[in-house]
Chain A
Amino acid sequence: MTRSWRYAIFFVGAGLIAALYVIGVYGMPHFGSTFHPYRDRAVPAAVSHRTANVVSAVNFDQRAFDTLGEETIFFASVIGAAALLRPSKEEREQHSPSQGGHVMASTRFAGYVLLPVTLLVGFDVVAHGHLTPGGGFQGGVVLATGLHLLYVAGRYESLEHFRPVEKFEYGEVTGALAFAGLGFAGMAIGGSFLANVIPFGEFGQLLSAGTVEVFNFAVGIEVSCGVVVLLAHFLRQAILLRGGEASRS
Chain B
Amino acid sequence: MNDIVLIVLLTLVAAGGTAVVMTNAPERQAVTLSVFGVLLSLLFFSLQAPDVALSQLAVGTAFLPLMVMLAIRKIRGGGR
> What residues make up the interface of A, taking CB atoms closer than 8 Å to B?
31-32, 53, 55-56, 99-101, 125, 133-135, 137-138, 141-142, 144-145, 148, 156, 227, 230-231, 234-235, 237-239, 241-242, 246-249
Which among A138, A142, A249 is the interface contact of B51 at CB below 8 angstroms? Answer: A138
> What residues make up the interface of B, taking CB atoms closer than 8 Å to A?
2, 6, 47-48, 50-51, 53-55, 58-59, 62-63, 66-67, 70-71, 73-75, 77, 79-80
Which among B47, B63, B80 is the interface contact of A145 at CB below 8 angstroms? Answer: B63
Q: B residues within 8 A CB of A133? A: 50-51, 53-54
**What is the minimal beta-carbon distance from B10 to any residue of chain A, in angstroms?**
11
The 7 closest A-B pairs by CB, nearest first: A247-B77, A133-B50, A141-B58, A238-B70, A234-B70, A138-B54, A55-B51
CB contact under 8 A between A145 and B74, given known A125-B54, A133-B54: no
**Once the chains bind, are B63 and A141 in contact (CB under 8 Å)?**
yes
**Docked pose: A53 CA to B51 CA in angstroms:** 9
A-B pair number, CB within 8 angstroms: 65
**Once the chains bind, are A101 and B80 in contact (CB under 8 Å)?**
yes
CB contact under 8 A between A134 and B63, given known A99-B79, A247-B77: no
**What is the minimal beta-carbon distance from B19 to any residue of chain A, in angstroms?**
16
**What is the minimal beta-carbon distance from A73 to any residue of chain B, in angstroms?**
14
Interface of B is mostly: helix
CB contact under 8 A between A246 and B54, given known A148-B66, A235-B70: no
**Docked pose: A135 CA to B67 CA in angstroms:** 23
Which among B47, B63, B73 is the interface contact of A238 at CB below 8 angstroms? Answer: B73
**Once the chains bind, are A239 and B80 in contact (CB under 8 Å)?**
yes
Q: B residues within 8 A CB of A137? A: 55
